[in-house]
Structure 1
């Protein structure tokens, strides 16, 4: 038997994505985290929602929402559980009566970031207001907030079509005639 090397053969590592199957609150000392459990008992903990977004894609967000709905409906009242429920619910089911949208009048300085792996953009202020939004959805943003988003510039890891489309979408919302 003779081994002949194949010319031009490219070997790439196969990346396996394990779906989320459960989540729980993980406590270490006084700090609480969301522990995300994937098939094969692959786990990762996240303290902040934006840290979770960096590691998630859209399928992960949808699965997390479904799993959190089940847990939250069982009347758990832990603050960390409520936090993930509120953020995911706002992300997928924006409610114009939500207090978050009324806080926009207090937004004067902001940072705007895109997490393109999951299609979420995030507006944050120094006063602690965080608004997470799916790129494909429209949210009840005021003209002032939309304008500040364009002035602040969108922070991205790399220039891509999603970021350009998001900028066009926000610009078009600012340019709409007032009602």
Structure 2
């Protein structure tokens, strides 16, 4: 049996689509400076604070932004304050192992890591470009989870 429903009675919501990041730039409005994140289809977002940007990002976004920033600053030095800030912050939130395994640390998100992944992280000997609080927290979390008794 089929029922015909008029258009007015239908509630259609578009699926939210998150487009991949294709570029970034420094955006200035008055005296304030922002990071302008450009996505496919010319969708843009602006962020003044790095933590706000990370809260809106997923892993894929962080990986892509890191690759774009790294590509730009491997041949040049960051000159503007916002350029330096994104370079330093992304380096802090990206950790590599000797074997080339990349780990991206997202703010206020906890992803459960299996005992096997944690052990692999310890065996691979994490390399950190800077000794900082985030890297120490990551190492502390790894040790705590590995040492936790199995259920």
- Per the TM superposition, whether the score is higher than 0.5 is yes
Corresponding residue of 1:82: 84
Distance 1:74 1:142, change over 3 A: closer
Checking the alignment, whether the CA contact within 8 Å between 1:72 and 1:82 is kept in structure 2 is no
Checking the alignment, whether the CA contact within 8 Å between 2:55 and 2:108 is kept in structure 1 is no
Gaps in structure 2 of 5+ consecutive residues: 6-10, 97-106, 112-131
Q: Give the TM-score normalised by the residue count of structure 2.
A: 0.59
Corresponding residue of 2:129: none
Q: Equivalent residue of 1:140, what SS? A: helix
Q: Map 1:1-179 onto structure 2 (within 5 A).
A: 4-5=4-5, 13-75=14-76, 76-93=78-95, 114-115=108-109, 139-141=135-137, 171-172=144-145
Number of corresponding residues: 113
Deviations 1:127-159 (A, max 9, x none): xxx955xxxxxx32499xx6xxxxxxxxxxxxx
Could you tell me how far 1:12 is from its partner in structure 2? 5.5
Distance 1:141 1:25, change over 3 A: same
Could you tell me how far 1:13 is from its partner in structure 2? 3.0
